[in-house]
Amino acid sequence: MVVTTRTPVTTDGHKGVRERRAAPSPRRNRTRIAAGITVLAVSALAAVTLYGNAGDRTPVLAVARAVEAGETIETGDLTVVRVAAERGVEMVPASERDDLVGRRAAVGLVPGNLLSRGALATGPLVPDGWSVIGAVLKPGQFPLGLRPGDEVTILAVPETGQGDGDGASPIEGLVVAIEETAPGEVSASLGVPGAATRDFAVAGAQGRLALARAPR
């Protein structure tokens, strides 16, 4: 605050102006010091909190590239991210990355998702010499309740205009993955013997496969 005091400062009848500044109040100085100490304390607490949160984050594995069910996981398919551990969320430690390379995916892996052990095949997903094909299945072409791992009989429906005897013979196969893509319609990955790969892959892409499952 500035206090201006007007007093005569000459002897010839003219008046001058002299300014006098009031000294800061000791009470105000103490208030400013206290506020400064409070800001420093809050800043220090925030720094400790941020450091503590960073320390709580755990390096885990996430999916870097899409992997189809049944495919072998390669080094570039996985990446390491640091996340805060949450109760009930299954995560795979980053230290296990090298051990997982070469394993097969039990389900399709989506980029950006955390990797879980349930997404990994515990053993050979399909027998040696078999292939994994895709199939679009509509209502009536598959039994309800199909799950990965189910053994099924696969029938290739003849193309329109062909006789019943022109279709491929039924084969035994394996459901690798299955996902609903539209009401009543599913997309499935099926394991089939290598010799049947070509004919059944074409039929699967054209929606001409039908599945039957033995009772569990």
Tell me the pLDDT band of 149, cut-offs 50, 70 and 90. confident
Q: Are 40 and 47 in contact (CB under 8 A)?
A: no
pLDDT for 111 equals: 94
Q: Indicate the average pLDDT of the chain.
A: 76
CA distance 59 to 136: 38
Domains defined for the chain, CATH in brackets: 57-119 (3.90.1210.10), 130-213 (no CATH)
CB atoms within 10 A of CB 64: 18
Ramachandran angles phi, psi of 49, nearest 5°: -65, -45
Q: Say whether pLDDT at 115 is over 80.
A: yes
Of residues 114, 117, 119, 112, the one with CA closest to residue 68: 119
Pair 211, 146: CB distance under 8 Å: yes
User: How far is Cα of residue 145 from the mean position of the Cα atoms in its chain?
Assistant: 26
